[in-house]
Amino acid sequence: MTELFLADTSALVRYFRRQSDPNWDHVVAAGRIGICEPVRQEYLRAAGARSAYYEADSLLQETFPYYVVRDDVWDGTAALQHRLAEKSWHQSASPVDLLVAATAAHHELTVLHADTDFETIARLTGQPVRRID
């Protein structure tokens, strides 16, 4: 089975800055890396001028499949944060990290990241994660 990914913002930043292995270009071209709305918004928040925002948004839409964040994913984020709190790890993952992890779990995707918070989540949940390095 071909591995499919949900990219975190940290992975997008590394990818677009060319700070990742060039082999990821083939994975992107094959449509195997997608994004979700929280990642899209977080990435676009860093865009400079208005024109840069629209260019970046178009690039994201043309390049990456889009995975919907279902309403019930919020329940998953609350449960995940609670589980992290049981280990005193609750301050590691941001709300966006929790949404990405829960969305990836819902769609049975591997989280692609450059953020150690996803390693922490994976230690707890066992869900697949992979660094983009």
Looking up residue 26, the CATH number of its domain turns out to be 3.40.50.1010
DSSP state of 111: E
Closest CA to 113 of 2, 41, 9, 29: 9
- Residue 71 annotated as binding site: no
By the 8 A CB rule, do 84 and 92 touch? Answer: yes
Q: In the structure encoding, which two tokens stand for residue 23, read together?
A: 């082999």
Q: pTM score, two decimals?
A: 0.93
111-129 CB burial, b ≥16 within 10 A, e <16 = bbbbbebbebbbeeeebeb
Q: Give the residue numbers spanning the domain of 127.
A: 5-131
CA-to-CA distance for 4 and 26, rounded, in angstroms? 13
**How many domains in the chain?**
1
Q: In the structure encoding, which two tokens stand for residue 32, read together?
A: 């195997």
Residue pLDDT tens, the chain, 133 long: 799 999 999 999 999 999 999 999 999 999 999 999 999 999 999 998 999 999 999 999 999 999 999 999 988 899 999 999 999 988 789 999 999 999 999 999 999 999 999 999 999 999 999 999 8
By the 8 A CB rule, do 129 and 111 touch? Answer: yes
